[in-house]
């Protein structure tokens, strides 16, 4: 009984930890998206100001915005990859299976069920002539 309680507590703890990690990653992503949008708007307004003052041509301002926005996207992509890697490490440390691993197990189960059906049909067919 105590063993079941400990196992349930461990499962609950893993689920809570998993949800906490997911919430954290979601918040970081949303903040990143918001910052990227804010950054693009801010970069655009700064570039527009430089163009208005004559410090940049219109084309140079446009190029500047495009380069900085592209760099921001790359950095956001790298941050998401790091977060994904961290999350996968957390899953492994908790002993949780990946979606791919679950799909592989489901496929193997379907194969075994099919083989059993073939064996059962073969066994029934061999007994029929008696």
Domain boundaries defined on the chain: 2-96, 97-130
Q: 83 CB contacts (<8 Å, ≥6 apart)?
A: 25, 28, 29
pLDDT of residue 130: 45
Distance of CA 8 to the CA centre of its chain: 26
pTM of the model: 0.43
pLDDT of residue 60: 81
Across the chain, which has 130 residues, the per-10-residue mean pLDDT values are: 50 54 62 64 79 82 81 80 84 86 97 96 64
Residue of 94, 113, 82, 111 lying closest to 19 (CA atoms): 94
> Which one-letter DSSP state was computed for residue 36?
H
């Amino acid at each position: 009984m105590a063993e079941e309680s400990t196992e349930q507590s461990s499962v609950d703890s893993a689920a809570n930890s998993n949800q906490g990690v997911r919430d954290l990653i979601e918040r970081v992503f949303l903040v990143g998206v918001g910052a990227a949008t804010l950054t693009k708007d801010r970069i655009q307004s700064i570039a527009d100001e430089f163009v208005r003052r004559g410090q940049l041509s219109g084309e140079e301002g446009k190029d500047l915005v495009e380069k900085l926005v592209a760099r921001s996207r790359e950095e956001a992509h790298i941050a998401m990859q790091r977060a994904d890697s961290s999350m996968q490490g957390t899953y492994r440390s908790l002993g949780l299976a990946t979606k791919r691993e679950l799909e592989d197990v489901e496929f193997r189960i379907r194969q075994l069920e099919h083989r059993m059906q073939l064996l059962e049909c073969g066994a029934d067919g061999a007994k029929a002539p008696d």
